[in-house]
Structure 1
Amino acid sequence: MSARLLVVDDILANRRLMQAKLEAKYYSVLLAENGVEALKIAAEDQPDIILLDVMMPGMDGYEVCRRLKADPQTAHIPVVMLTALNETADRVRGLEAGADDFLTKPVDDFSLMARIGALNRYNAVAMELRKREANGMRAGALAEEEMQGLERGANILLIDSSSSSMQSIRDPLQDAGHRVLTLDEADKAADGRNSNLDIVLLGLSHQAFDPLRLCAHFRTTDATRALSIIVMATSADRELAAQALELGASDIIQTPVVAEELLARVATQTKRRRYVDILRRRVDRGLELSVVDQLTGLYNRRYMTNQLALWMKRASLGSQPLSVISVDIDHFKQVNDKYGHDAGDRVLVQFADRIRTNVRPKDIVCRPGGEEFLVIMPETTGDLAGRAAERIRKSVAAEPFELDDLGQQKLGVTVSAGVAAYAGEDDTVADMLRRADLALYEAKTAGRNRVTNIAA
């Protein structure tokens, strides 16, 4: 998978060398020689990944990274810091500045490409979700409650054959507010190894099992596919760790593990995983809002017409009956005028609940607009639909509607309904809806609070 990378280094020879390596792997490369130029290019060209040198005159890499992550335009771009510094404190400082990874110069080509591949996989998912969100519901920046969710302690599955190693890893994580489970504990827990987990910490070196096979298993199993996987390996197992990245691992931490770096990497992966989860929920919510009426939770006009067309086609192919009920609240305008629109909304919500209670699970209840409702009843004759409409009418009239939170103010409500049945292969959605509206009109002109059934 190709990508566009921004290489930031104040030394021309370093930039050119990195450019040659990346272009040999068919990556598109942008170059910047200082922090100011990097921030400008990142905002304007939106690279997929930024390879950022730390030691630069003026604005160093830590400050550049902080500014990138503070800007909503560039906060989503993964940053890999490259430096000759090899102290744990330097890695932790970079991760705390917002870096997604940290590589020490001279950079091993195999490790570099594996890291880029891992970030590319993350980018592919996050970018697709951002595009879908932008095309549907433009939610903007993360809400405050969503930000709090990013910072919440993680649920971590720890897999390592060494009990002493496990304890040295588990203690600092639990002290920091994370929940850590072993395989045995996860199996015994009520939630098991499901979507409640955020991260898998997987030992690579000196294990009694094949860690690469387990890594591949996590990535090919639906229940664990979305988990972040941090592999733990000694410096001697560098190639093994790079293979793990190619198989789908999200990050690497060198053993023996330093607590500060462990916590920083766990925080980064937790935020990344939850950011993708938030995007998925937003996309789902956007899709739902495109077909669902926000007030009542019923389907809207768009969904109604699409579903009615689909069921009419099925009815024509299978010679199955199909009916619709058009329902309208009597004198609803007077409710709004006398009691206010909040009270009117309460009536609409309660009315939607009563319709749902009095139809079958396979019936499709819609609110095309205002006080108008429509029920699509697959495989149902006009007579049966008429009985259902009468059941709805009686349910509405049987008990008054509450107009306030305390239920102290109540109002009797009635409805009128019209029923139409599918008339055969020459029938259209518009014709069927027109007949249902005509039946509803006849019910209203006949005195309201009644059902009229027009034979097809």
Structure 2
Amino acid sequence: MNISLGDIPLRTILIVDDDAIVRRYLEAQLSRLGCRLAFAEDGVEAMVRIEEDRPDLVLLDIVMPGLDGFEVCRRIKGSLATQHIPVIHFTSLGQEAKERSFEAGADDFLNKPLNIVELRSRVRSHLLIQSLQEELKANQGMHRAWRWEEQPKARILAVIADIDLREWVVDKLRTQGHDVLWADSLRACLDSMGQGLPDLMVIDHQLPDGAAGDFVGHLRNFAKSRDLPVLMLCSREAMERKQVGGDAGPMDYLVVPTNGTEMRVRVDVLLREGRLLAGRSADRIGLERDLLVDPPTGAYSEAFLEAHLTLVQGWLAKAHQPLSLLGAGCYQQVAGWLEAKEHMVRSARFLSAGLRQGEALCRVADRTFVLLLPGTDAKGLEERIQALYKSGFTGTLAGLPVPPGASAGTVLRGLAQVLQKGQGSTAIL
């Protein structure tokens, strides 16, 4: 397919700074990103530009005459028409300014003097996130309209040799609610990743057995780890000398020592980018939606359930036989994501052991299964729920007798809602 540059809309970055030297510097550094650059000298002009141009990203100085950067950001985020535009503050002010920046609604923060590696990484990340969100919104009619479970906490692997820094990072990440494992070398990192990829890797730029930049570059050569989000910890000197490696894939940098607020923002941005990329890959490549069997557990997939449910409804309707669905939520607290994977496999085996002829077990989310039970009516469904609890199942069970003629989407949406209500629930559509 022939694609011309005219087919690809240019992204617009609005640069707002009262210093002409800073504006020229940013123009020189960002001109290679292939974006249209617009400029404003103060907050008042910035608001006019935003109203007229609707930029895709705003790079905003804080200290300016008239409207300062805090107020401009509040106005951008306070309007329904512009609140989606990412705002990156930059200033030479200290920690208090950063706190005020995020209170005003800023999406990110850069310190002056600006570092080119950080600058380009942050700009690319926010433009990509915005593009992925737009794509998801445009295609949302193609996606299912139900959610089986809440977004699970992120799985993070911290690869840091220094004990004090590692303990500080792990503690901060766990305080933020994440599931964290750690490694003290690249070899230990590989051993851990062999048990499953994390949602994010936080890695020191220099480790006893090699440079993290080369290691991350190696990971980008494989489809499975190509889009793994990476937060690289480095010294200010390494950043200034550009010794931290390339910027392929979702990647950002954090100068240490740092504070918890900056790390939280870096982690949140990378996790958001990683989730959007993962969802995009699943829909386009079919990693999740097109497989008929879930490889880790051996259960059928959600794609199988959606297709098979419609077929089974037709067969049973002709034979005047009932059909029920039983949702099983395996929400047990575990010590880490490796234990969570083992728990899923055990749960699948437990639920499969009780299946009868013609029944099927499907995995529909990280921690949720659905049992397809042809020939089972409402009374039989209640008996199956009680039997599973008596046999030792410790998760959440919820059932739904399937009414004749109901669409697969309506049935699955109803079951998801019943499952969210809690243990032992049943419902009639």
TM-score range, shorter-chain basis?
A: 0.5 to 0.7
Q: Is the aligned partner of 1:181 residue 2:190?
A: no
Aligned to 2:200: 199
Q: What is the distance in 1 between the residues matched to 2:82 and 2:246?
A: 24
Aligned to 1:8: 16
CA distance change for structure 1 residues 169 and 57 in 2, over 3 Å: closer, same or farther?
Answer: same
Aligned to 1:105: 112
Specify the code of the residue in structure 2 equivalent to 1:298.
A
Shift of 1:53: 0.8
1:19-418 equivalences under 5 Å are: 19=27, 21-23=29-31, 27-35=35-43, 37-38=45-46, 41-42=49-50, 45-69=53-77, 74-85=82-93, 87-95=94-102, 97-108=104-115, 110-111=116-117, 115-116=119-120, 119-120=123-124, 123-124=127-128, 127-128=131-132, 130-131=134-135, 133-135=137-139, 137=141, 149=151, 153-183=153-183, 194-195=196-197, 197-205=198-206, 207-239=208-240, 241=242, 243-244=244-245, 246-248=247-249, 250-277=251-278, 297-298=306-307, 329=317, 357=358
Shift of 1:236: 1.0
SS in 2 for 1:201: strand
Render the CA deviation track for 1:174-226: whole Å, top value 9, x for unaligned: 3333332123777777x85634x222111125754111111212333333332
CA distance change for structure 1 residues 257 and 400 in 2, over 3 Å: closer, same or farther?
Answer: closer
CA distance change for structure 1 residues 330 and 273 in 2, over 3 Å: closer, same or farther?
Answer: closer
SS in 2 for 1:156: strand
SS in 2 for 1:137: helix
Specify the code of the residue in structure 2 equivalent to 1:4.
T
Q: What is the distance in 2 between the residues matched to 1:263 and 1:278?
A: 22
State, as a whole percentage, how many aligned pairs show the same letter.
Answer: 25
Aligned to 1:364: none
Specify the code of the residue in structure 1 equivalent to 2:257.
P
Shift of 1:11: 4.4
Aligned to 2:410: none
Aligned to 1:368: none
Shift of 1:82: 1.9
Q: What is the distance in 1 between the residues matched to 2:68 and 2:146?
A: 31
Q: What is the distance in 2 between the residues matched to 1:273 and 1:176?
A: 18
Q: What is the distance in 1 between the residues matched to 2:106 and 2:246?
A: 17
Runs of 4+ in 1 over 6 A off after TM superposition: 142-146, 184-189, 279-285
Are the aligned partners of 1:230 and 1:250 in contact in 2 as well (CA < 8 Å)? Answer: yes
CA distance change for structure 1 residues 121 and 168 in 2, over 3 Å: closer, same or farther?
Answer: closer
SS in 2 for 1:177: coil
Render the CA deviation track for 1:31-72: whole Å, top value 9, x for unaligned: 234445545644664434321111134543234335545656
Shift of 1:274: 3.4
Are the aligned partners of 1:49 and 1:78 in contact in 2 as well (CA < 8 Å)? Answer: yes
SS in 1 for 2:141: coil
Are the aligned partners of 1:199 and 1:230 in contact in 2 as well (CA < 8 Å)? Answer: yes
TM-score w.r.t. structure 2 length? 0.56
Render the CA deviation track for 1:337-383: whole Å, top value 9, x for unaligned: xxxxxxxxx96878xxxxx959xxxxxxxxxxxxxxxxxxxxxxxxx
Shift of 1:167: 2.0
Q: What is the distance in 2 between the residues matched to 1:145 and 1:329?
A: 27
Q: What is the distance in 2 between the residues matched to 1:24 and 1:330?
A: 64
TM-score w.r.t. structure 1 length? 0.53
Are the aligned partners of 1:82 and 1:102 in contact in 2 as well (CA < 8 Å)? Answer: yes
Are the aligned partners of 1:241 and 1:252 in contact in 2 as well (CA < 8 Å)? Answer: no
Render the CA deviation track for 1:402-424: whole Å, top value 9, x for unaligned: 699769xxx9x99xxxxxxxxxx
Q: What is the distance in 1 between the residues matched to 2:136 and 2:177?
A: 34
Are the aligned partners of 1:231 and 1:241 in contact in 2 as well (CA < 8 Å)? Answer: no
Q: What is the distance in 2 between the residues matched to 1:118 and 1:242?
A: 18
Unaligned runs of 5+ in 1: 305-325, 333-345, 351-355, 359-395, 415-456
CA distance change for structure 1 residues 22 and 53 in 2, over 3 Å: closer, same or farther?
Answer: same
SS in 2 for 1:297: helix
SS in 1 for 2:257: coil
Larger Rg: 1
Specify the code of the residue in structure 2 equivalent to 1:123.
L
Unaligned runs of 5+ in 2: 1-7, 291-301, 326-356, 360-373, 384-400, 405-429
* Structure in which a larger fraction of residues adopt helix: 1
Q: What is the distance in 2 between the residues matched to 1:98 and 1:278?
A: 26
Shift of 1:270: 2.9
Specify the code of the residue in structure 2 equivalent to 1:30.
A
Specify the code of the residue in structure 2 equivalent to 1:131.
E
Specify the code of the residue in structure 2 equivalent to 1:29.
L
Are the aligned partners of 1:118 and 1:248 in contact in 2 as well (CA < 8 Å)? Answer: no
Shift of 1:166: 1.4
Are the aligned partners of 2:18 and 2:64 in contact in 1 as well (CA < 8 Å)? Answer: yes
Aligned to 1:337: none
CA distance change for structure 1 residues 228 and 402 in 2, over 3 Å: closer, same or farther?
Answer: same
Q: What is the distance in 1 between the residues matched to 2:77 and 2:148?
A: 19
Aligned to 2:337: none
Are the aligned partners of 1:205 and 1:237 in contact in 2 as well (CA < 8 Å)? Answer: no
Are the aligned partners of 1:68 and 1:74 in contact in 2 as well (CA < 8 Å)? Answer: yes
Specify the code of the residue in structure 1 equivalent to 2:109.
F
SS in 1 for 2:97: helix
Aligned to 1:421: none
